[in-house]
Structure 1
Amino acid sequence: MARLLLLRHAESEWNAQGRWQGQADTPLTERGRRHAAQAGPLLAGFEMLVCSDLCRARQSAEIIAAGAGIDVIDIEPRLRERNAGPWQGLTRPEIERDWPGYLSSGRRPTRYESDEQLVARAERALADIARQAERRGTPEVLVITHGGVIHSLTVRAGLTMVPMPNLSGRWVTVRNGTVSVGEPVTVGDAEQHSSQAVEAGNEVRRT
């Protein structure tokens, strides 16, 4: 069994612009870099760090690793964000203009990756990460991924969604290849994340 802390990356340039990113390789903003640096020491104690291959996740992982004292980062492409198809790069008003009624009714355009597709690849990746952690004797793993991944896993588990700012996420447990989604966690300063902020490392770990 392994416990994985899945965190959404820090703020990217398209987050700041309100654009749907999908699998576009957008970098972090300066604010995102600053908040990732603040989060690093709060996440000290993890010995294994895995991240998506997209730039915003890799940059978040590199900055967090420096502050948390983690030497090696494993890259896992299956943890990348959902393919948003033709919505990639658009703002909500642009989507509502060009696809009227889609957002309000839950419809999605062609080439938009479904929850089922996203969950299938993410769960395979998490099961493989858990097996690696067990072989290394590491009971807990820090995973830097994307909001769509965490959202889809949460919905699949039948759990109530909570606000998911950057550098927030969920604990998951992987036992015999089965992924179970647990409690939400937010890492960062109180000004950024309001009452959900985690002020100390032991609150993040919850061992």
Structure 2
Amino acid sequence: MADEKTIEHDVDIVGMYWQAHKEEVLDLANAMFMGFVEPAFLFGKEPHLTREEISPLFSEWLLFEFPGVEGRSPFSWFVTHHKQTGRRLNADQLIRLRQIERTQFFSRFEIHRKDLERGTCTLIDVCDDRRYEVADSYLCSVERWRDGTIAQRIAKVDGKWYHVGKVYLYDIAEPRYTALDGPGMIHPEDLADKPEVMLAGFYLRLLRDTIGIDGRYRKSASILSA
């Protein structure tokens, strides 16, 4: 039976493989990421991110979304070609990883309710109002993350939703103020200034909005540790 620690361990197996083989993907991935997001700190502007702060933001995209390994993400490639990696997976691990590959996505969610006893959160996707019961004891434990929205990656394994990434981005603003044109959405000015946003995923658009030099919400964003 899957639980949070099991899911985290499964994802870490894939992450550690690519950490050991990063030279195969790093240069192209870095160029694509930096070229689209254009982090403001590269131009001497706030938010001034340290290497420790930008690294997990980049790694999240690299593992799950960078389409540079035979046209697939590193995570997807590993699940399909795991026998070539030298990593031994048992049948249950492979089943779980396939479910994560198939169902994972990143979005911004209204924090509707926390159940501290069960370690689950009721999250409502601001993009389509779908409701998810997510096993996420860490999110539950951060007291100041209430109301507002949390941006994170979730996936469904054995009928239950879990947090599967390493990134949490919290916004204190009430969801109704950011649901239609908030961070990660396609804005009217983007079509003229950055037409490639139409091809980018929600995650990259959100980072561009909050830490990019031309980000709509850059001046009001702050990067804080949990």
- TM-score, normalising length from structure 1? 0.30
Higher RCO (CA-CA < 8 Å; seq separation 6+): 1
The structure whose Rg is larger is 2
